[in-house]
Amino acid sequence: MKKTMTLEDALQRIAELETENSRLKEEIEYYKNKKTSGRQKHNAKWMSIYNDFVACHEQGMTMVEIAKRNGISERSIYRYKEYYDELQKKENEN
């Protein structure tokens, strides 16, 4: 059993669907361009600071000095140190 539609009803429904489609496309663009919150996992900036941390830490600089040098918080430096310690532990196990 098919529903009978007139041409005007069909055109009106098409217009409604096109409006909905454009709204959904805008929503998709919003989510594509949305910045994620929180720390970014090991991107180029992270690796650059981590490599500088390793060099400074192995030279004996304090955590506070390394944080100031890189313009980041002390807590972030301690995250780098945790990662560094994990890698050192794995390296020593092998």
pLDDT score for 53 = 94
In this structure, how many other beta carbons lie within 10 angstroms of the beta carbon of residue 16? 10
Q: Where in the chain is the domain with CATH 1.10.10?
A: 44-93
Tens-digit pLDDT profile for residues 18-50 = 999 999 999 998 888 776 666 567 788 889 999
Over residues 44-92, the pLDDT tens digits come to: 888 999 999 999 999 999 999 999 999 999 999 999 999 999 999 988 8
| pLDDT of amino acid 43 | 82
Burial of 43-64, coded b for 16+ CB within 10 Å and e otherwise, reads eeebeebbeebbebbeeeeebe
Architecture of the domain whose range is 44-93 = Orthogonal Bundle (1.10)
* Cβ–Cβ under 8 Å, residues 50 and 76: no
What was the pLDDT predicted at 13? 92
